[in-house]
Structure 1
Amino acid sequence: MHSDQQIQHWTPICDLADIVPNTGVCALVNGEQVAVFHVIDSTGGAQETRVFAIGNYDPNSEAAVLSRGLVGNLGERIVVASPIYKQHFDLQTGECLEEPANSVPAWPARIEAGQVWIGA
């Protein structure tokens, strides 16, 4: 993951309200499909609205489907389960928990003035 200081360019994706909480959408960023997730995180006790961005292409099923997966938690990790073979991908790092060799890229994401932004 990148720090804000290292990011050269932030790309606006959509309004946060355009993504149903605890689901994802697919966006085309610099020619690449990115799965963008709007998560209501309550793991620390208080509810926090967060956004995440990982590659949309699932190397396990060889399909661009991660944005349509089910969002949840495995322990302290916020993950998406691929809709095809159900492997879990960490939304912060893109790591595939069952097959780490099949991990996907992750990008920094933030909410600013009600808009979702992805760092490149």
Structure 2
Amino acid sequence: MTVLSEATTTVWTAVCAYTDLLPERGACALVGRHQIALFRTFDGELFAIGNQDPFSGAQVLSRGIVGTRAGEPSVASPMHKEVFSLVTGVCLDDPAVAVPTYPIRVADGTVEVGVR
């Protein structure tokens, strides 16, 4: 028998329909106690990162400017314009800073976010 600890168990929460997410625009979802910024790129790929800008403390990353830097999907914070990788959560302007990333998937047309 395999026992998974709470730290490794992912709980999936439905947050919206896939079609509700507009390409290159962010949206925010409250999953448990986590504010999560959701993004859909033009090619249809989904990303989920923490919504809090670590430089200002404001919950604003879902309102950031979506783009790419060196081919990597990213979002620029609307506060001070620091750019964060949507893949890793690392700040591309200051690699010592990062935001959390969350697993995201589509099930029967519904976007689900995983929280451990």
TM-score range, shorter chain: 0.7 to 0.9
- Mark the structure with the bigger radius of gyration: 2
The whole-number CA distance in structure 1 between the counterparts of 2:40 and 2:9 is 21
Q: Which amino acid aligns with 1:12?
A: A
Task: Show structure 2 runs of 5+ residues with no match.
Answer: 1-7
The one of 54, 62, 76 equivalent to 2:57 is 62
Matched-pair identity in %: 46
Alignment of 1:109-120 (within 5 A): 109-120=104-115
Which residue pairs with 1:12 in the alignment? 14
Displacement of 1:7 = 5.1
* Equivalent in the alignment of 1:83: 78
Higher strand share: 1
- Measured after TM superposition, the shift of residue 71 of structure 1 is 0.6
* Aligned alpha-carbon RMSD (Å): 1.3
Match of 1:73 in 2: 68
TM-score normalised by structure 2 residue count? 0.86
Report deviation, 1:95.
0.6
Query: When the two structures are superposed, what TM-score results if normalisation uses the length of structure 1?
Result: 0.83
Secondary structure of 2:19's aligned partner: helix
1:3 aligned residue: none
Cross-structure match for 1:45 = none
- C-alpha deviations, 1:76-111, integer Å up to 9, x for none? 210001011111110011111112222100011112
